[in-house]
């Protein structure tokens, strides 16, 4: 078949009789449904581990008492520290995974991640600015500043990229420019002011240690709402994957879709970054691995990336609590150690990212 | 062709990119039920016209009308059920199969509450049968030859089930065999009752396959009509600056453009 078209015979190159059958062999569904079930099961196990495992060793009885009995000795650790940390870790991981998948789908760039919208630098810039001018403040305030900074940076990138005229290539360039400028700014302030450096040091690594201070209900609602809308974008994103022109022909306005997508990504990645600091590899690597399993259909890629992101971040967090007991390794470091080499592998293996 | 018979019209339109106008005061009626081919030298505005017809470009003045109403005032998904588009360089996602790509043509017929149905399944199967790609269904689009891939894209647009089809240079990048194959397919779609508009480069292919020609130069329509009427040595010269003779195509009887040799050529025995 592959050589038939070079033959000089003008007849159609197809070589077998065809039957206009009714059933079309679309990509198999059973495997992907099973995978989804496996992911949910893995998440359940990781959730239990995250509540049960920590720098203080407990048996399951103590953990159970800590969840159910407010007077028990383990209650403060289990219910007031580990439970919120687990919930927020799940939410942040899901948000990062989904935001990464959306970003890659929207830019048709398999190596894009939410950081490309300047979310991480924006958050960091806001935190150092606040710290420089206001002095020291609590982790709750850090979250607020980080979220605002992430949002401002994302909107700024979008405007620099030409707003309604933003193309994937222009978005990538604008993101790179904003990120570079932002890093320069953050480094400059930190060099000038040691207190700011101290304030930033912990947050900028990416950690869930302080997550229990975060306002849990608003964070979960924000991420949940944005994730709901994000998953609904699967079908128009499937059309956009065929190019802006084809998408237009199919009845998708790429400009409207980009505005919706950037809004959702900003809320997801901004919230997650505010809560646990800039963790880059989840949004980059998770959708990549997911696509290798699900294929390019966003109806599968998006939910898979969301669940896988949550599982990856949870696993990294639990691992970080176990490897250096009684101290712990921040989840951002674990993610980078696991994700960095994998990213290098991707870059070395892949053809140049298609924009 | 009166206005009421034309499903797709351009009225007094200024079309261009940014502040650069390619066409000004352009008027075009796409005749219903015809295979219209837009012709012209490079940068004459033919692709720009097609983009305007496909609502990818909004005229800065004037209108593009679909069924008598401004195309930009209609919901884009509703337009997508009337008007299909095969752009010049569509993108196939990595690893997508033929059947999955064709199925994406169903987008304008689906909704949040209207998921994939048996009817969608049938339409996709029909579109693949009509383009002779049924046995490629499970193959990856990236493994196909250029001609096969183009048929897959046409199947995707057919799955959209639109009475109007726009094709932007559907034969570019194909070798001659596959060019003819794609044009034969277009002719078949036209015979089945669809209205086609295509941008083509090859004058002789245009003259053979089109039932209506629009010749453009410098953003304006220079000549318009049935190929037998407008493909004359005089028109070709006006549009392309090409001295030529016109003879009858021995296969089809349609006009065949033979460029004149500019310098005297030594007679070959």
pLDDT tens digits along B33-66: 999 999 999 889 999 999 999 999 999 999 999 9
Question: With 80 as the cut, is the pLDDT of residue A271 above it?
Answer: yes
Structural contact between residues B72 and B58, judged by C-beta atoms closer than 8 angstroms: yes
Helix axes A139-160, A168-192, angle to 10 degrees: 140
Answer whether B94 touches A (CB < 8 Å).
yes
Say which of A25, A239, A245 has its CB closest to residue B104: A239
Tell me the mean pLDDT in the region A194-211: 73
Which of B83, B99, B143 has its CB closest to that of A26? B99
Rounded to a whole number of angstroms, the distance from the CA of A37 to the nearest CA of chain B is 22
Determine the average pLDDT of the residues in B137-153.
Answer: 92
Residue holding tokens 């880059």?
A280
pLDDT at A252 over 50: yes
Q: Answer yes or no: do A27 and B100 touch at CB < 8 A.
A: yes
According to the model, what pLDDT value does residue A307 have? Answer: 96
Higher pLDDT, A281 or B179: B179
Q: Which residues of B fall within a CB distance of 8 Å from A24?
A: 99, 102-103, 121, 124-125, 128, 137
Q: Across residues A233-250, what is the average pLDDT?
A: 95
pLDDT at residue A178 tops 70: yes
Which residue of chain B has the CA closest to A292? B95
The residue-averaged pLDDT of A51-61 equals: 80
Pick the more confident residue, A174 or A163: A174
The minimum CA-CA distance between A297 and chain B, rounded to whole Å, is 8
Sign of the alpha-carbon torsion through B11, B17, B18, B21: negative
Contact call for A25 and B138, based on CB within 8 A:
yes
User: Which burial class, exposed, middle or buried, applies to B198 when counting CB atoms under 10 A from its CB (0-12, 13-18, 19+)?
Assistant: buried
Cβ contacts of A23 on chain B, cutoff 8 Å: 121, 125
Q: Give residue A199's pLDDT.
A: 66
User: Is 80 exceeded by the pLDDT of residue B155?
Assistant: yes
Interchain proximity B103–A26, CB inside 8 Å: yes
Report the 10 Å Cβ neighbour count for B95. Answer: 16
- From the list A14, A22, A232, the residue facing B132 with the nearest CB is A14
User: Of A9, A235, A297, which has the smallest distance from its Cβ to B107's Cβ?
Assistant: A235
DSSP strand E in chain B: where? 8-17, 20-30, 35-39, 61-66, 69-70, 83-86, 164-168, 195-199, 212-217, 220-225, 244-248, 255-259
Long-range contacts of B258-266 (CB under 8 A, 24+ apart): none
Mean predicted confidence (pLDDT) in B235-263: 89
Size of interface A-B (CB pairs under 8 A): 144
Cβ–Cβ < 8 Å for A5, B147:
yes
Can you tell me the distance from the alpha carbon of B258 to that of B242, in angstroms, rounded to the nearest whole number? 10
Nearest chain A alpha carbon to B158: A250
> For residue A24, what pLDDT is reported?
55
pLDDT of residue A171: 81
> Distance from B256 to chain A by nearest Cα, in Å?
20
Q: Do A238 and B107 touch (CB under 8 A)?
A: yes
Q: Which residues of A touch B105 (CB under 8 A)?
A: 250
Query: At CB < 8 A and 24+ separation, what contacts does A222-228 make?
Result: A222/A267, A222/A271, A223/A91, A223/A92, A223/A94, A223/A95, A223/A267, A223/A268, A223/A271, A223/A272, A224/A91, A225/A267, A226/A95, A226/A264, A226/A267, A226/A268, A226/A271, A227/A94, A227/A95, A227/A98, A227/A268, A227/A306
Q: What's the gap in Å between the CA of A340 and the closest CA on chain B?
A: 23
Most confident option among A47-56, A69-78, A265-274, A305-314: A305-314
Q: Is the confidence at residue A9, as pLDDT, over 70?
A: no
- Does residue B118 have a pLDDT over 80? yes
pLDDT at B135: 93
State the average pLDDT over residues A86-99. Answer: 93
Task: Residue B87: list chain A partners with CB under 8 A.
Answer: 243, 245-246, 249
Q: What is the distance between the alpha carbons of residues A68 and A64, in angstroms, rounded to a whole number?
A: 6
Average pLDDT over residues A281-285: 87
Residue A335 banded pLDDT, cuts 50, 70, 90: confident
pLDDT band at A26 (very low <50, low <70, confident <90, very high): low
A-chain residues near B142 (CB < 8 A) = none
Give all domains of chain A, ordered by start, each with its CATH number.
31-37+59-347 (1.10.3470.10)
B:209-268 residues touching chain A, CB 8 A cutoff: none
Q: Is B132 on the interface with A (CB under 8 A)?
A: yes
What value does the mean pLDDT take over residues B95-100? 92
Query: How far is Cα B13 from Cα B23, in angstroms, rounded to an integer?
Result: 7
How many Å apart are CA B31 and CA B36, to the nearest integer? 8
How far is Cα A118 from Cα A273, in angstroms, rounded to an integer?
11
Q: Is the pLDDT of residue B2 over 80?
A: no
**Mean pLDDT, residues B231-251 taken together:** 91
Determine the average pLDDT of the residues in A194-208: 73
Looking up tokens 């069924």, which residue turns up? B67
**B positions 4-33 inside 8 Å of A (CB):** none
Residue A278's alpha-carbon distances to A105, A336, B145, in angstroms, are 21, 11, 44
CA distances from B45 to B14, B227, B241 (A): 11, 20, 16
Out of A6-15, A31-40, B210-219, least confident range: A6-15
Chain A nearest C-alpha distance from B29 (Å)? 20
Q: Cis omega before residue A305 (within 30°)?
A: no
> Angle of helix A281-294 relative to helix A83-107, nearest 10 degrees?
70
| B75, closest residue in chain A (CA to CA) | A251
* Per-residue pLDDT at B265: 59
- Largest Cα separation within chain A, whole Å, is 86
The three-state secondary structure class of A251 is coil
Measured CA to CA, the distance from residue B204 to residue A129 in angstroms comes to 67
Q: What is the per-residue pLDDT for A94? A: 96
Alpha-carbon gap, residue B205 to A228, rounded angstroms: 51
- Of chain B, the percentage scoring pLDDT greater than 90 comes to 79
Chain A hits for B121, Cβ within 8 Å: 22-24
Residue B269: pLDDT over 60: no
Q: What is the pLDDT of residue A270?
A: 87
A57 min Cα distance to partner chain B (Å): 47
| pLDDT of A204 | 73
Mean pLDDT for chain A overall: 81
Please give, rounded to a whole number of angstroms, the shortest distance from the CA of B133 to a CA of chain A: 8
Identify which of A138-152, A327-341, B150-164 has the greatest average pLDDT. Answer: B150-164
Residue A226 has a pLDDT of 95
pLDDT reading at A8 higher than 50: no
Report pTM.
Answer: 0.86
| pLDDT (average), residues A143-156 | 86
Q: How far is B75 from chain A (nearest CA, A)?
A: 8
What ranges in A25-82 are assigned the alpha helix state H? 30-52, 60-68, 75
Mean pLDDT over all residues of chain B?
91
pLDDT, tens digit, for every residue of A105-126? 988 888 788 888 888 888 888 8
| pLDDT at A11 (0 to 100) | 36
The pLDDT score that the predictor gives to residue B130 is 92
Residues in chain B closer than 8 A to A14 (CB atoms): 132-133, 135
Q: How far apart are CA A77 and CA A49, in angstroms?
A: 14
Q: Given this model, what pLDDT does residue A12 score?
A: 36
- Listed by number, the residues of chain B in 28-67 with a beta carbon closer than 8 Å to a beta carbon of chain A are 54-56
Partner A contacted by B97 (CB < 8 A): yes
Give which of A10, A17, A24 to mutate to test B binding, by max B Cβ within 10 Å.
A24
* Percentage with pLDDT > 90 across chain A: 27
A137: left (phi over 0), alpha (psi -120 to 50) or beta: beta
What is the side-by-side strand order in the sheet with B195-199? B83-86, B164-168, B195-199, B35-39, B212-217, B220-225
Mean pLDDT in residue range A200-213: 74
Give the C-alpha separation, A252 to A265, whole Å: 19
- H-only helix segments in chain B: 46-53, 76-80, 98-103, 118-130, 146-158, 176-191, 203-209, 227-230, 233-240
B44 token code pair:
């004459």
CA distance linking residue B198 with residue B183, whole number of Å: 10
**Environment class of residue B46 by beta-carbon count within 10 Å: exposed (0-12), middle (13-18) or buried (19+)?**
buried
Give the pLDDT confidence of B63-76 residue by residue, as tens digits: 999 999 999 999 99
Q: Using an 8 Å Cβ cutoff, are A120 and A297 in contact?
A: no
| CA–CA dist A329, A11 (Å, integer) | 66
Give residue ranges of A with CB < 8 Å to any B CB.
Answer: 1-2, 5-6, 8-10, 12-14, 16, 18-27, 108, 110, 232, 235-236, 238-239, 241-243, 245-246, 248-253, 291, 295-297, 354
């Amino acid at each position: 078949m592959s050589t038939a078209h070079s033959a000089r015979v003008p007849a159609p190159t197809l070589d077998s009789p065809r039957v206009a059958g009714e059933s079309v062999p679309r990509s198999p569904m059973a495997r992907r449904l099973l995978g989804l079930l496996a992911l949910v099961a893995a998440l359940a196990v990781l959730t239990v581990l995250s509540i049960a495992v920590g720098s203080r060793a407990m048996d399951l009885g103590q953990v159970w008492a800590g969840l159910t009995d407010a007077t028990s000795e383990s209650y403060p650790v289990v219910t007031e520290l580990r439970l919120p940390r687990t919930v927020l870790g799940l939410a942040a991981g899901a948000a990062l995974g989904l935001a990464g998948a959306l970003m890659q789908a929207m830019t048709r760039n398999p190596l894009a991640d939410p950081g490309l919208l300047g979310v991480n630098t924006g958050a960091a810039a806001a935190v150092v600015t606040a710290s420089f001018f206001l002095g020291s403040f609590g982790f709750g305030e850090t979250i607020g500043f980080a979220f605002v900074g992430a949002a401002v940076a994302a909107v700024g990138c979008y405007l620099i990229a030409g707003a309604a005229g933003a193309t994937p290539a222009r978005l990538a360039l604008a993101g790179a420019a904003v990120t570079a400028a932002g890093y320069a700014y953050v480094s400059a302030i930190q060099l000038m002011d040691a207190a700011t450096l101290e304030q930033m040091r912990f947050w900028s690594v990416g950690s869930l240690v302080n997550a229990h201070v975060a306002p849990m209900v608003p964070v979960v609602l924000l991420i949940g709402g944005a994730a709901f809308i994000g998953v609904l974008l699967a079908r128009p994103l499937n059309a956009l994957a065929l190019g802006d022109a084809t998408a237009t022909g199919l009845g998708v306005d790429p400009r409207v879709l980009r505005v919706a997508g950037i809004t959702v990504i900003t809320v997801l990645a901004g919230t997650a970054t505010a809560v646990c600091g800039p963790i880059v590899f989840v949004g980059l690597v998770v959708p990549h691995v997911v696509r290798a399993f699900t294929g390019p259909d966003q109806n599968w890629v998006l939910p898979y990336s969301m669940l896988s992101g949550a599982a990856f971040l949870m696993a990294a967090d639990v691992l970080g609590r176990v490897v250096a007991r009684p101290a712990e390794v921040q989840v951002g470091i674990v993610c980078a150690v696991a994700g960095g080499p994998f990213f290098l592998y991707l870059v070395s293996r892949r053809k140049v990212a298609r924009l | 062709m009166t206005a009421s018979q034309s499903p797709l019209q351009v009225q007094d339109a200024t079309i261009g990119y940014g502040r650069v106008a390619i066409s000004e005061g352009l008027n075009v009626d796409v005749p219903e039920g015809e295979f219209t081919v837009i012709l012209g030298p490079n940068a004459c505005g033919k692709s720009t016209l097609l983009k305007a017809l496909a609502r990818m470009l909004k005229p800065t003045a004037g209108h593009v009308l679909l069924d008598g109403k401004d195309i930009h005032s209609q919901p884009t998904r509703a337009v997508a059920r009337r008007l299909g588009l095969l752009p010049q360089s569509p993108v196939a996602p990595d690893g997508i199969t033929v059947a999955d790509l064709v199925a994406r043509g169903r987008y304008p017929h689906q909704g949040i509450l209207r998921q994939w149905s048996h009817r969608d399944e049938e339409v996709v199967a029909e579109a693949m049968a009509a383009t002779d790609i049924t046995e490629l269904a499970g193959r990856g689009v990236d493994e196909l030859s250029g001609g096969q891939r183009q048929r897959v894209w046409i199947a995707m647009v057919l799955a959209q089930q639109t009475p109007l089809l726009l094709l932007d240079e559907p034969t570019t990048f194909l070798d001659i065999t596959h060019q003819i194959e794609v044009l034969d397919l277009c002719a078949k779609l036209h015979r089945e009752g669809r209205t086609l508009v295509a941008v083509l480069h090859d004058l002789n292919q245009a003259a053979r396959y089109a039932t209506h020609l629009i010749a453009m130069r410098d953003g304006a329509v220079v000549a318009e009509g049935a190929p037998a009427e407008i493909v004359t040595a005089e028109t070709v010269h006006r549009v392309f600056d090409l001295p030529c003779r016109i003879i009858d195509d021995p296969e089809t009887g349609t006009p065949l453009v033979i460029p004149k040799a500019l310098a005297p050529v030594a007679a070959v025995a």
